[in-house]
């Protein structure tokens, strides 16, 4: 009985260690409210600066919250990588127009633009805290699921000055170390050039009916729809990066739909951990994974 009690106590202690509470910080004060992030930090790093992943949750720009990054934050922090899971303005929440075919195209683009700008705000805030939290400023990644995947792809490759809505003050020469997108897409492949290409991890169901795996309209809307928006999904992005001889990893879920948008953020998180560490080590890679 004593042995069983001890085993249960040790198991409970291990779970408590694994589920360490994040530090909640306000990264921006805006007229319509403060924006916060949850920062998950590695323990016992011997003061060696650690990589950081800034995570943007999904939810169609109308739902979801930063707790969606909890599993990722806890796992990566246990493996020596810091994570900041951010809140951002859910621009489509409560609006009469939706995020699908009946939406209004400029409003859909604005939702992505606001979220990308707030990702830049959070990044700049964290750059100012690198010494406090022992973060390596040269190893900051961005990651997101679904709407978050669309956000981080645009945050990574948009011209920050041209698309600026908020005074994010990111240094002009700042570059993310890499980008991780779950079922995301980008509006224009030409945004990704040889000059700004980053190591990129992509994962996507190849039958996703919401965000195209290849190249198609968002939600496969007809061209006369008010919310028609052409998107280039994970397969198209990977092919584009491959043609430029850039580093990428793509995992394709055969027959899978949009339900795989958060897969590696909640299951098999070691794949993301491996990607981050490949980039940190300066490795060259072009990886294709197929999951049946």
CATH class for the domain made up of 20-291: alpha beta
- pLDDT confidence of residue 267: 96
What is the per-residue pLDDT across 190-242, written as a single tens digit (0 to 9) for each?
999 999 999 999 999 999 999 999 999 999 999 999 999 999 999 999 999 99
Selection from 40, 90, 83, 41 nearest residue 65 by Cα: 90
At residue 289, what are phi and psi to the nearest 5 degrees? -120, 135
- pLDDT confidence of residue 216: 98
43 pLDDT more than 60: yes
- Burial label, 1 (beta-carbon count in 10 A; 0-12, 13-18, 19+): exposed
The token duo for 183 is: 């079922």
Handedness of CA 75, 263, 212, 245 (dihedral sign): positive
What mean pLDDT do residues 22-27 have? 98
Domain-wise residue ranges, the chain: 20-291
Better-scored residue on pLDDT, 148 or 17: 148
What is the per-residue pLDDT across 59-96, written as a single tens digit (0 to 9) for each?
999 999 999 999 999 999 999 999 999 999 999 998 87
What is the per-residue pLDDT across 103-134, written as a single tens digit (0 to 9) for each?
999 999 999 999 999 999 999 999 999 999 99
Q: Predicted confidence band at 16 (pLDDT cuts at 50, 70, 90)?
A: very low
């Amino acid at each position: 009985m004593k042995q069983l009690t001890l085993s249960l106590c040790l198991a409970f202690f291990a779970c408590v260690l694994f589920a360490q509470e994040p530090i909640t910080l306000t990264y921006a004060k805006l007229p319509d409210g403060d924006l916060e992030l949850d920062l998950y930090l590695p323990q016992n790093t011997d003061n060696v600066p650690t990589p950081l992943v800034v995570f943007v949750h999904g939810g169609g720009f109308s739902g979801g919250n930063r707790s969606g990054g909890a599993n990722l934050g806890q796992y990566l922090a246990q493996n020596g990588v810091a994570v900041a899971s951010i809140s951002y303005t859910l621009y489509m929440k409560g609006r009469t127009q939706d995020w699908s075919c009946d939406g209004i195209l400029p409003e859909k683009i604005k939702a992505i633009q606001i979220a990308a700008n707030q990702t830049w705000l959070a990044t700049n805030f964290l750059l100012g805290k690198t010494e406090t939290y022992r973060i390596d400023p040269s190893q900051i990644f961005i990651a997101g699921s679904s709407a978050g995947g669309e956000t981080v792809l645009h945050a990574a490759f948009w011209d920050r000055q041209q698309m600026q809505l908020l005074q994010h003050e990111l240094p002009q020469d700042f570059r993310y170390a890499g980008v991780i997108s779950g079922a995301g897409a980008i509006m224009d492949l030409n945004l990704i050039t040889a000059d700004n290409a980053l190591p990129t991890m992509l994962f996507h169901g190849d039958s996703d009916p919401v965000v195209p795996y290849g190249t198609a309209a968002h939600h496969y809307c007809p061209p006369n729809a008010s919310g028609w928006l052409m998107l280039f999904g994970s397969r198209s992005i990977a092919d584009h990066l491959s043609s430029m001889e850039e580093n990428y990893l793509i995992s394709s879920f055969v027959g899978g739909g949009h339900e795989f948008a958060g897969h590696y953020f909640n299951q098999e998180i070691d794949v993301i951990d491996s990607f981050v560490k490949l980039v940190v080590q300066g490795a060259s890679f072009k990886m294709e994974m197929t999951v049946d």
